[in-house]
Structure 1
Amino acid sequence: MLDSGTFSCRLLEGICPPLDHSQKRTAVLSDRKAFYTLHLRWFVAMVVATVVAISWYAVASYGRDRWPGGSSLVGLTYGVLAAAIIVFECLLVVRKTSLFRTSRWLGSAQFWMKAHIWLGLLAVPLVIMHSGFDWGGWLSSLVAGVFALVTASGIYGLYMQNIIPRRLLELVPDETIHSQIDDVAQQLAADARRLVGLRVENAAFNDRAEKHLRRGATRTVVSGAPRQVGTIVERSPRPNRELPQEIVAPAVLQNALVQDIEPFLLTGRSPLRRLDTSQRCSWYFEELRRRIDTAEIQVVVSSLEQFCERRRQMNLQQSLHFWLHGWLSIHLPLAMALVILLVGHIWFALRYS
C-alpha cells in the first residue's frame, strides 16, 4: 500500500525537484513571493516591447484621419509578429510531447512556460494595433473573438495554477499521485476488509475479502517523491501481527463495513451521505464506538476512520485537480481553432490585398 506521507503535486512537467530549501521557490513557475526572482526580466522585456510598439504606432498615426490598419507598414509588422507569437504559443504542446520533453537543447520547460505567458500577453496589444481598432469583416471579427477567449482562458488557468496547489497543500495533507487514486482506494478497501475480515466467522464474508486482496495485489503501485510538508498519518496496525487474533468483530462493525465504509472507500460516495464530510465521518465513527465495548475492536474502528478520512481527502484532491487542469479542455481546442482561423485570415488578406 502506498505510504501515507504524500506525494508532490507537480505544477509543471519537466521542472526538476528542488535540491535544498534555498532553491524551493525558484523551482516552480507560479509563486507570488518570488515573482521578481522568477519573472522580472520577462516582465521588463514585455513592458519595454509594449512601450516601443505603442510609440511606433503613435508616430505612424500622427497626422492621419484614422488609425493605421493591417495594410499599413506598422499594422502589417504587428500582424506578422502576433502571428509568429501565436504559432510559438501552440508549439508548447509539441514541446511537451514525449518526443521533445527531454530535449535539453530546446530549453527548459520553465523557460517555455515563462515565454508562453509573457509573449502571449505581448500579443494582445499587437493584435489590437494590427486591427486599427476596427475588427473589419466576419472572419477578422471571429479571429479577434477567439483570440480574446484564448487569452482569457489562459489568464484563468494561470490564476488557477497559483491558488490550487496552495489549497492542495492546506486541505489535502495526504495527497497522492492523481492517476493512482483508484488503486489507493482499492488498497484501502482491501486493508479495511483485512482488519475486519480476519475476525469474522463468516465464510462468504472472508471469500469476498480474499477477492479484494487478490485484485489489489495485481495492481501496479507507482512511487512518487514524498512531499516535505503536511502531516504524517500514523500507520494502521497489521492484523496478523499487532492485533489480538482471538477477537471477533461484532456484527455491527461487519454491517458498517459492508453497507457504508467499503462502498465509500471504493467509490468515494457514501450510500446515505454518512461519510461525505469530515464532520459527518466523525459523528459516524463516534456512534460506532459507542456501540462497541471492546477496546481492541475500537483500535480497528480508529483505523477504519483513518481510511475514510484519507478517501475523503482523495475526493477533494480529485475536485481540485479538475479545477487545476480542466480549463485546458477549453484553452487547447480554442488555441487550435485560432491557428486554423489565422491561416484563413492570412490567406484572405493576401488574396484580396
Structure 2
Amino acid sequence: MRFRIIKEEKGAVLPIVALFLLFVAFGMAALVVDAGTLYNTRKSMVTAADAGALAGAKEMEKVLGVTDASQISQIKANAISIAKSLAIKNGAEGEPVVELKKMNIELADGSVSNRDVIVVTVTKNEEHDFAKLIGFDNSDVVAQAVATWGYSTQVTGGQIFPLFMLEEAYIKGETILHAGKVTLENGEVSDPNRGYVKLEEGENGQKIINDTLAGINMDRQFIINQVLVSETGQANSMINAIEDRMKTAAGLGTPDERKQFMSGLIPIVISEAAIEDAESKPNAHINLTIQYFAVYTIHDVIVSDGNDNNKDAVGSSYALTKTDFTKVSQPASYVPDFAKGTLIGEFTGEKIELTTVIKDNDQDPLPGYEGLSRYSKLVK
C-alpha cells in the first residue's frame, strides 16, 4: 500500500505577510507620529525665531539717527539680549544664535537693498518615539528669522489720516489740528485750507476724506517726498466722521485696541509756498511735500464753539478718555475758544500697526524729531 504525503503550503505565507504588514504598519506609525511631532516643533521654532527677530529689530530702531558709537554699541548689545530672551521665552532650547549683519533684501519694487538686519537662529533637539526603534533616536529642528528696521518713508493701510501739518508748526510742538487757517512760511494765508489732504479727484473729495477719518475707506498710501495737494473745505464737516471713529473705537475689546484705532500717521510737510494763482484764486489748493510722518492720537473733536452760546468750546459726547479710551462721562469744555471741527490730540511717538513698505536708504539718519515714525519688520 502506498501512502502519499500531501503537503498543503497555502497557509505558510500568511505569517510572513502578517509580519511584513506589521513591520510596514509600525514604520508608518513611526513616520506619522514622529513626523507630526517634528512638524509641530518646527512651527514652534519658527514662532520663537520670529519673536526674537522682531523684538531685536524693535530695539534696533533706537539706533536710527544716533551717532554716538558707545550708545550704538549698547543698543546693539541690548537688541541681541532681547532677541535671545524672547526666542527662549517662545520655546527655543539652549542659547539662540543672534547676528547683526548686512544682508541683501528684495524690496517691493523688485530691487535689492543691502541693509542692516538681525538674524535669529533657534534649535531644538526632538527625541523620537517610534523611529528610535528603527535606529533614529532624535533630530535637530532648526528655524531662522530675519528682521529689519527703518524710518517709515512709505506706508499703507488703515491708520493714515488724510490730514497734514506744516513742519514749522510740528517742530514748535503744536498738537491742535484744524483750529484755523493754514499759514505758510512766507506769511500768506490760504483760506479755507485747514489741513486736509486731497485723496482722489472728483466732486466727492470731502466725503472720501470723511469716510477715511471714520475708518470706512482706510486703505491709503503716502510716500516721503511725495507732493500732496491740500483739499479745501470746512473743518466742522468732519465732526460726524470723527465721532463715528470714536464709536467704533469704544466698541473694541482692550484699551490698546481702542487707542490704536484712534491713532494714525499724519504727514509732516514742507510748504513750497505754491498757492496756485493766489491773488486771483484765494481758495486755491496748496502744494506740499511730505518730509516725514508722525503718530497722532485723536482725543476729542470740538462740536460747539463759544460763539454758539457765548460759552466755552465743547467737545464730543463720544470722546474717549486718555487713560483706558472708554467713553467720557460728559463732554469736555475748552478754553481758548476753539472753532468747530478742531481736533484735540497729541503726537505720541508711539508705534502703530500699519503696512510699512521697506524702502532703500530708509535706515539712513534723518532729523530726530520727537514722534518720527519708525518700523521693524520680518523680511525672511
TM-score, with structure 2 as normaliser: 0.16
Greater Rg by CA: 2
Name which structure has the greater RCO, CA cutoff 8 Å, separation 6+: 1
More helix by proportion, 1 or 2? 1
